[in-house]
Amino acid sequence: MGRVTQRAPVTRVDVSDPAAPRVVQRPDTLAVEEPMEMRVDGSALTVTMRTPGDDFDLTLGFLHAEGMIASADDVTRLMHCLDTDESGAPTYNVVDVTLAAGVALPEKRTRSFLTTSACGVCGTASIEALRTTSRYAVAEDRSHVDPAVLAGMPGLMRGAQKVFDRTGGIHAAGLFTSDGTLLIVREDVGRHNAVDKVVGWALREGRLPLVGHVLVVSSRASFELVQKAHAAGIPVLATVSAASSLAVELAEDVGMTLAGFVRPPRLAVYAGADRLLAAQEIQAAGSATRGEVIAGMSHSMPHSMDRRTG
């Protein structure tokens, strides 16, 4: 398996005294970013930039999010091809997928699958097509999550981010039960890859649809994260930063709860506040900032949660 981190020289500059900057040279630990090609039944499907590790879960999660497989049973074999680098050492950067008999990729694909660690829907041909890929009616999941419990989930996930502790430069996705129990954390340079790794794990474990679960991601809430959570049947998505307009629109359309700026003791609910608050609490919010709550109480956005910090 490829390395998750590597050492590299770095020059650190301390300008506490602008007239005499302090310069120190020493090695630092970096998160590895390498390409991984997915091949299905011998044909190349996509190349994604990712952090090596949990590659099979990443592959399964990606295929499921794209509507190409319904369960882990749709795949009979996952294996790393023995590709090598210039020195002849294996890179483990190609995953070969063999589909089960009777399972085939859709003849018409709505997306171009060249992805980077920054963008999960690059080359999208039809946003409307992505809205309808989920097999699960998330809007019918009426599970409830205590807002105070939700606010504490990023901290619990942060405690399990081992690679972030070493590099400071990697995203994480964590899957929780509605009572705040942390089930799994996956890390990757790409936030969408981290989510695919979590969903791929759940797929292998036979847990889909993830009714009554919460997905927490250490990034902003973008459209592709809502889409991936929806495809896995997850009713609640929480992120530590802001949400994009399209993410909010999709969450509202499919009946998901979307919360951003989840940093104790505050969180901002962009969609599906009824899973967190009672109807009377939502009504009592009145004309306050839309969807924002502090453990069930509505408040205006403090400076510490300004979008410039996301």
Catalytic residues: 119
Structural tokens at position 97: 């997928």
**DSSP assignment of 292-304:** EEBTTB--PPPGG
Give the DSSP H/E element, type plus range, for residue 234: none
Q: What SS3 state is found at 61?
A: helix
Please, what's the b/e burial string for 13-48 (b: 16 or more CB within 10 A of its CB; e: otherwise)?
Answer: eeeeeeeeeeeeeeeebbbbbbebebbbeeeebbbb
- φ, ψ at 257 (rounded to 5°): -95, 130
Rounded Cα–Cα distance for residues 159 and 144 (Å): 24
Q: What SS3 state is found at 305?
A: helix
How far, in Å, are 101, 150, 204, 256, 270 from residue 178 at the CA level? Answer: 37, 8, 21, 14, 18
